[in-house]
Every structure is written in structure tokens, then in C-alpha cells.
Amino acid sequence: MGVNYCTVQDIASYGRALSAAEEPIAEKFITSASAKLRLIAKQADMDIDQMIADDEDYGQAVNEIVSRAVIRALNSVADNSPPAVQASQAALGYSVSMTYLNSGQAQFFLKNELKELGILRQRVGVVRVYDDGSNDEN
């Protein structure tokens, strides 16, 4: 088991006050979010722990991103958070459409967060559709 990239105090410092009942839940979310970020980095052939050790600013960015992911997960579990981020209704024919906030209560990292850490990068590749004869041996 690796290190956690943030603490319960970090969650509170980013503006999400935790009740006594939420603190153990937050601890679990912190552990799993840190592990998930570590796995995502490994898939990109990156050692995130070494990068944090080499650069204090990078460590602070990782701390914030893991904290934000935990806050999103906590907000989806909380009873006082709105369940839908988008809703539309119609009359007479009665139609309702809703988009839910993290309906599966899963932790996730946003694409822009992974880009900030350098984990998610644009990839360039070439696919040859036609044989141009450059691979022919004479």
C-alpha cells in the first residue's frame, strides 16, 4: 500500500468541512483516490512518487487534485448535495430528463487534472492506409 497524497485536513482546507461521521469515509476515499492515481500514472509509465519527491510543486498539485476527487466523491454521498446537475421538464405530454452528479458514486479524475500532472498527453501516430512501396526489399 502506497502513501496517501492528501489528508482529511487538506479536504477541510479546500473548503469542504467534514462531520465526525464523514471523516472515516473521507479516509477511505483518500486511500483509494491515491491508489487510483498511482495506477493511472503507472499505465502511463510514470513513477508519481518519484516525481513528487523530485518536485515539491508537483507534490502540491497532486495533493490538490486528489483532494478535489475526494470532495467530488464525498459530495455524491452526502444527503445535502443536489442529485442532479441538469434537469428539464415538459408539460402536457410529460417528459423529464435529468443528468445526475456522479450517480455511481465513483471516484474519478477530470481529464484536465490528469493533463496538469502530465499523465494524460496527446498522442501522435501514423497509420499507413496505402502501401507506398517504402518497405519493399529489392
Q: Mean pLDDT over residues 7-23, rounded?
A: 90
- pLDDT over 70 (residue 83): no
Nearest Cα to Cα of residue 68 among 126, 29, 99, 19: 29
Domain boundaries, the chain: 8-116
Nearest Cα to Cα of residue 82 among 95, 100, 108: 100
Q: Mean pLDDT over residues 24-37, rounded?
A: 92
* Region of 45 on the Ramachandran plot (φ > 0 left; ψ -120 to 50 alpha; else beta): left
- pLDDT over 60 (residue 137): no
Indicate the average pLDDT of the chain.
80
- pLDDT over 60 (residue 38): yes
pLDDT value, residue 1: 67
Dihedral in degrees, nearest 10, Cα atoms 101, 102, 107, 108: -80
This prediction's pTM: 0.69
